[in-house]
């Protein structure tokens, strides 16, 4: 244990199970610890560092803006906030934007907006969410999340029910007048990089429109190029009433967003929602730099190609220890027959950073800029490590 880890254990709230590594700098897709050991970052701060580490476009934008204006408050407009709102509207097709500091704040904002809209329409306040969902850790987001151990934080906000992924009339019967909105992730991240049955998201969107229920897509992990599209909704042919963003939007700077349609936006009045730090010039400048890089010709196509090549590499080995490889773009889950954490620890020893989710799923969400050569070499190392771990515990 180094000195920083000792200080951390003495003073930080013990809510994280940290690995025994202290990172001090990063460059591209690589992280370096206090001994200057290099690690290939396949986690990107949990899908946050979209451009990797120390990207020149992003660092220049942050440094330049910090020298001009960092914060004023939302009593006033600033150029970075106005330009970011415009850009997000253009790439999403959703004309209204509210900027936040994090994903869980974006979820809380979306819930408030949906309930205000339902109130004005004379509908109920229920929010339907999915089994295995994860939407955050503040109380409203936690109430929308499928997670054990919630009784310790009771009473959670009321008005949340689970949606069964049914079809046709069975689906529509769940969308009665008590329901304000359905909140779903287009691909479940913490749930194990899980996809919905083919066509179900489109069926859900149609049903929501028919029943006048708002559709909220949680694109906090899937958005901002992660799947090789601006948003996962584009891959599935969806257009929600509201959408939440964060993680990759700032490339490492804390910034999130709630986007919504004009009819939904018109339900909100002055003072219905607000934020102190959300949409500050520094965070908005970082987000604009990220979006500018992602908009370069061929960038998102390359994300798609790198993801497909990785999955093909894993599948080619036909490792019996692997149940399934799931992914879209650079959001990939390798479902193992056993717990994934021992593999994560061994990969860390070998200089690869990733994590385990849903027990037996190895989650890989690297920087979108990761070089293809490094990425595919990592695939080979991962497969061999999975095989070696299985042999060692046989």
Q: What is the pTM of this model?
A: 0.97
State residue 1's pLDDT score. Answer: 80
- Is there a catalytic annotation at residue 301? no
Catalytic residue among 41, 116, 134, 236: 134
State residue 65's pLDDT score. Answer: 98
Catalytic residue among 116, 233, 247, 306: 247
Q: Longest C-alpha distance within the chain, in Å? A: 64
CB count within 10 Å of CB 152 equals 5
State residue 392's pLDDT score. Answer: 59
Tokens read off for 170: 């069975």
Tokens read off for 60: 């220049």
Q: How far is CA 354 from CA 19, 47, 68, 339, in A?
A: 11, 11, 37, 14
99 and 255 Cβ atoms separated by less than 8 Å:
yes
Q: Are strands 256-260 and 96-100 parallel, antiparallel or unpaired?
A: antiparallel
State residue 150's pLDDT score. Answer: 86
Beta pairing partners, 25 = 32
- Sequence-separated (6 or more) residues with CB below 8 Å from residue 308: none
> What sections of the chain are H helices per DSSP?
3-11, 44-47, 56-66, 79-92, 103-121, 139-143, 168-172, 200-211, 232-236, 262-265, 281-294, 299-317, 341-349, 372-392
Catalytic residue among 41, 116, 160, 218: 218
- Is there a catalytic annotation at residue 41? no
H or E stretch at 247: none
pLDDT in tens, the chain (394 residues): 889 999 999 999 999 999 999 999 999 999 999 999 999 999 999 999 999 999 999 999 999 999 999 999 999 999 999 999 999 999 999 999 999 999 999 999 999 999 999 999 999 999 999 999 999 999 999 999 977 778 899 999 999 999 999 999 999 999 999 999 999 999 999 999 999 999 999 999 999 999 999 999 999 999 999 999 999 999 999 999 999 999 999 999 999 999 999 999 999 999 999 999 999 999 999 999 999 999 999 999 999 999 999 999 999 998 899 999 999 999 999 999 999 999 999 999 999 999 999 999 999 999 999 999 999 999 999 999 999 986 555 5
- Is there a catalytic annotation at residue 247? yes
State residue 334's pLDDT score. Answer: 98
């Amino acid at each position: 244990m180094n000195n920083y880890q000792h200080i951390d254990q003495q003073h930080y709230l013990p809510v994280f199970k940290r690995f025994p590594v202290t990172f001090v700098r990063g460059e591209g897709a690589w992280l370096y610890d206090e001994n200057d050991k290099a690690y290939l970052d396949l986690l990107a701060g949990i899908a946050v560092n979209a451009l990797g580490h120390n990207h020149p476009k992003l660092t220049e934008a942050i440094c330049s803006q910090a020298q001009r204006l960092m914060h004023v408050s939302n009593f006033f407009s600033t150029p970075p906030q106005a330009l970011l709102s415009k850009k997000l509207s253009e790439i999403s097709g959703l004309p209204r934007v509210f900027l936040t500091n994090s994903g869980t704040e974006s979820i809380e904002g979306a819930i408030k907006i949906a309930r205000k809209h339902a109130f004005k329409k004379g509908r109920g306040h229920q929010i339907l969410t999915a089994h295995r969902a994860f939407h955050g850790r503040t109380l409203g987001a936690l109430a929308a999340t499928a997670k054990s151990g919630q009784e310790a934080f009771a009473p959670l906000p009321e008005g949340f029910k689970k949606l069964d992924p049914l079809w046709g009339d069975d689906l529509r019967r769940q969308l009665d007048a008590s329901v304000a909105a359905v909140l779903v992730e287009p691909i479940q991240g913490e749930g194990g990089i899980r996809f919905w049955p083919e066509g179900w998201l489109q069926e859900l969107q149609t049903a929501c429109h028919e029943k006048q229920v708002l559709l909220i897509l949680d694109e906090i992990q899937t958005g901002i190029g992660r799947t090789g599209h601006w948003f996962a909704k584009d891959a599935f042919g969806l257009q929600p009433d509201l959408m939440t963003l964060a993680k990759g939007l700032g490339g490492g700077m804390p910034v999130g967003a709630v986007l919504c349609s004009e009819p939904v936006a018109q339900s909100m009045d002055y003072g219905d929602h607000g934020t102190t730090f959300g949409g500050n010039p520094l965070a908005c400048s970082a987000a604009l730099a990220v979006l500018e890089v992602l908009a370069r010709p061929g960038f998102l196509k390359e994300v798609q190609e790198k993801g497909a090549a990785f999955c093909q590499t894993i599948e080619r080995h036909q490792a019996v220890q692997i149940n399934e490889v799931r992914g879209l773009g650079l959001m990939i889950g390798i479902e193992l027959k056993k717990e994934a954490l021992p593999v994560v620890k061994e990969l860390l020893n070998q200089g690869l950073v990733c994590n385990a989710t849903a027990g037996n799923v190895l989650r890989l969400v690297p920087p979108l800029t990761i070089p293809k050569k490094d990425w595919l070499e990592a695939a080979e190392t991962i497969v061999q490590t999975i095989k070696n771990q299985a042999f060692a515990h046989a």
